[in-house]
Amino acid sequence: MAKRNFDIIRLHHVEIAVTDLEKARHFYCTGLNFIETESDENHIYLRAIEDANHHCLILTKGEQARLKHISYRVSADSDLDELAKLFERLGVRMKWLAPGEERGQGRALRIQDPGGIPVEFFFEMEKAERMLQKFHLQGNVKIKRIDHANCLITNIDELYAWYTEHLGFMTSEFTVKTEGDRENIWAAWMHRKPSVHDLALISETGPRYHHTGFWMDDAKSILDACDHLASLGYYQNIERSPGRHGTSNAFFVYVRDPDGNRIELYTGDYFSNDPDFEPIKWNLDDPQRATFWGALPPESWRKEAVPVEDIFTGEPLPILPVKSAQTVQP
């Protein structure tokens, strides 16, 4: 892989729209035990137990559930200028955010990637108290950190190559769809941090946002979270019951907030940064690909996702059909 004059560290935070901030606060802070750093009349800024910065999740008041942006942290402020040069050369729609325009954050560069996903890059963020050893305050649900973003896009051939060739994302696993004697890429799990993924790209009608994954210590922690949610009356918000993915090896539960934004409670993946690591290949028809074991996913999990936002207008982008596939291999 060619060396680049910038370094993307990891997925750092996500901003989603919710229609009722108080209902959202109860679900995320009481139900999932996120820590509220601060709020105003239109936003709630949340962090997880390991976070030493201002936020890993922003809830913003809006008309419907929607992805407003996903955000990656870079290694140095100068990386933002290098990324801006790259995006200008590639003809990517982009804009700068001034320091503080997103609360707690320094200047940032926001783009619409070629798949339509609103993506941000930043370096500086205000510090916040890390709650890792405040065991008496952690409660029943112990979400440690953000892990990944899962996006549904129509042009996976183009977007997979774009993230790999231009931004230096690496592939841990991929799924192919066999059509005649051809194998076309259908999904890719891509990373900057040394785990399975910061970003999952799935070939579907889109652009849409499927879920944000948050890391928990082990399977028991996830089951405890389910007990906690159910005892608060959120039993119907548990959308997909416990199981293990074939892809990623993750033990999971999927939950949805009162507006339908989807959260994956996630654990059990693996280290992926050895120099001789070879991406794991799956076939779309493999019955253990999405569900290594556990109940099959409900129709809502397979078909429903939230719109994504135009970075300039703030309006949802139109949902389009999948483009014709080409033969691309990681």
Look at 182 and 8; give whichever has higher pLDDT. Answer: 8
Residues 6+ apart with CB under 8 A from 30: 232
Handedness of CA 59, 61, 67, 70 (dihedral sign): negative
Q: How far are the Cα atoms of 194, 216, 329 from residue 147, in angstroms, in the given order?
A: 11, 9, 25
User: Are the C-beta atoms of residues 43 and 58 closer than 8 Å to each other?
Assistant: yes
pLDDT digits (tens, 9 = 90+) for 12-54: 999 999 999 999 999 999 999 999 999 999 999 999 999 999 9
Hey, what are 241's tokens? Answer: 């019951």
- pTM beyond 0.85: the answer is yes
CA pair distance 107, 125, nearest whole angstrom = 9
Work out the number of other CB atoms within 10 angstroms of the CB of residue 223.
Answer: 15
143 has a pLDDT exceeding 80: yes
Helix (H) or strand (E) holding 81: helix 77-90
CA pair distance 129, 150, nearest whole angstrom = 28
Structural domains for the chain = 8-135 (3.10.180.10), 143-307 (3.10.180.10)
CA max distance for the chain:
58
pLDDT digits (tens, 9 = 90+) for 56-72: 999 999 999 999 999 99
pLDDT at residue 329, rounded to an integer: 56
Task: Phi first, then psi: give them for residue 276, nearest 5 degrees.
Answer: -105, 15
At 326, the pLDDT band (50, 70, 90 cuts) reads low
2 has a pLDDT exceeding 80: no
At 325, the pLDDT band (50, 70, 90 cuts) reads low
